[in-house]
Structure 1
Amino acid sequence: MDAIRPLPEYLVKRYHGWKATTFAENKSWYRRLAEEGQRPRAMVISCCDSRVHVTSIFGADQGEFFIHRNIANLVPPYEPDGAQHGTSAAIEYAVTALKVSHLIVLGHSGCGGVQGCYDMCEGKAPALEETSSFVGRWMDLLRPGYERLEAGEDAERLRALEKQAVLVSLENLMSFPFVKAACDEGMLKLHGLWTHIGEGGLETWDPEARDFTPV
């Protein structure tokens, strides 16, 4: 525990600024959230990438989204094996306890995790192939998406793999019995999105067009 240190001063100052402004001006709303609990309408599974700011993209307030972030916004298949599954646990809680109406998988441009998966599958990232690599074993989830890629330039294939990360996750979501049941009952809808960080673009998976189309 010797590595634990106090917060850096710039974060302390930002906290006090928030407490004196945003919090002070909305005390009743924060108190209501604390006393009545959360009732988010949607769960968003997005990447850990610091450039992907889900609440800003949708102008969301506190209490509106139940957000889970991981490397490359991936959802593993349903595996009730007694191991520790953070993403699966978050999905279970959102669907069965919070009963969200929408479950959104949000991918993005320039994803480092997707780049790592691409390099690994191309045989260019031996470190990620080591059994000791947490990132590499996590990115194994995206190998089925890599196998679907068409021949072409690396940049095009990378962009396609970023979107495959969304599709693979949506497919894996339907392997969860409680997700499928909620969808079948009309209580839950799944959505696949991809955002271009530099251009502020947002695309959604259109099941009829079988492609991502601009929102």
Structure 2
Amino acid sequence: MIDFQKLIMGYQRFRSGDWTDQHDRWEHLSKGQNPKVLVIACSDSRVDPAQIFDTNPGEIFVIRVVGALVPPYERELGHHGVSAALEYAVTKLEVSDILVMGHGACGGIKASLEGTGSEDEDDDFFIKSWISLLDDARDRVVAEHGHESDVACRLEHEGVRTSIANLRSFPFVRDREAAGKLDLHGAWFAIENGSLHLLEPKSSEFIRL
């Protein structure tokens, strides 16, 4: 397991290695960014989009949040971190594609299916509030597949579909998609075997790449 000191050692290797070897690229990046793809992925430490898609700094704009969940469009006062990052990527960076990527063995999905397990309501207030975004999807999946062994996987898939539907509730996403300037995609990554499954738009099913 890595600890803070190992992070510092890693930085030192990076500074004397990649940063030095590719100084021109890093100098270019210091002047701005121009990614064309926004990836919305889970905060899970095992699922790093940059590693999975073998990208360099500056190539993808990433939002990482529990369950790879996107909230619906809301204008109420509050601190809307995911919505703010989404707005920046779409309206300022003008990305041409958004990929929502769920994954196997997702703790957020497990929390939705089983509850957080705490008797103290204040102990996991923020987790419960956030995961409630999946309540309707969970109820549908459990009603149809509640006794099946792959119910968690099915809800992980449904979470991606839910996030894509919520993306379309944002006017700046919906309008750009309608104008052909923005494409939405879904994916699911299996940690155990490294396979990537893409959401097929017509069937709304996940197909292994």
* TM-score, normalised via structure 1 length: 0.90
Q: Distance in 2 between matches of 1:97 and 1:127?
A: 43
Q: Distance in 2 between matches of 1:154 and 1:116?
A: 17
The correspondence for 1:182, drawn from 176, 182, 186, is 176
The correspondence for 2:10, drawn from 10, 14, 18, is 14
Q: Contact (CA 8 Å) 1:128, 1:136: kept in 2 or not?
A: no
The correspondence for 1:143, drawn from 125, 135, 142, is 135
Is 2:53 the partner of 1:61? Answer: no
* TM-score, normalised via structure 2 length: 0.93
Tell me the residue number matched to 1:4: none
Q: Which amino acid aligns with 2:128?
A: G
Change (3 A) 1:60 1:49: same
Q: SS in structure 2 opposite 1:139? A: helix
How many aligned residue pairs are there?
A: 205
Q: SS in structure 2 opposite 1:13? A: helix
Tell me the residue number matched to 1:114: 109
Aligned ranges 1:81-92 → 2 under 5 Å: 81-92=76-87
CA deviations on 1:64-86 (whole Å, 9 max, x unpaired) are 11001111000000001121100
- For residue 154 of structure 1, report the CA deviation from its aligned partner: 5.0
Q: Distance in 2 between matches of 1:12 and 1:126?
A: 35
Q: SS in structure 1 opposite 2:30? A: helix
Q: Distance in 2 between matches of 1:99 and 1:11?
A: 33
Q: SS in structure 1 opposite 2:150? A: helix
Q: Contact (CA 8 Å) 1:106, 1:194: kept in 2 or not?
A: yes
Q: Distance in 2 between matches of 1:190 and 1:126?
A: 36
Deviates more, 1:200-209 or 1:130-139: 130-139
Q: Which amino acid aligns with 1:65?
A: I
**What 5-or-longer segments of structure 1 have no aligned partner?**
1-6
Tell me the residue number matched to 1:24: 20
Q: Distance in 2 between matches of 1:116 and 1:156?
A: 15
Q: Distance in 2 between matches of 1:141 and 1:88?
A: 14
Question: How large is the Cα RMSD of the aligned pairs?
Answer: 1.8
- For residue 207 of structure 1, report the CA deviation from its aligned partner: 2.1
Q: Contact (CA 8 Å) 2:118, 2:124: kept in 1 or not?
A: no
Change (3 A) 1:131 1:14: closer
CA deviations on 1:130-186 (whole Å, 9 max, x unpaired) are 696100110000111112211343531111011111010000000000000110111
CA deviations on 1:41-83 (whole Å, 9 max, x unpaired) are 1001100000001111111111011001111000000001121
Tell me the residue number matched to 2:94: 99
Is 2:45 the partner of 1:50? Answer: yes
Q: Distance in 1 between matches of 2:183 and 2:170?
A: 14
Q: Percent identity?
A: 36
**What 5-or-longer segments of structure 2 have no aligned partner?**
none
CA deviations on 1:70-111 (whole Å, 9 max, x unpaired) are 110000000011211000001000000000001010000000
Is 2:167 the partner of 1:173? Answer: yes
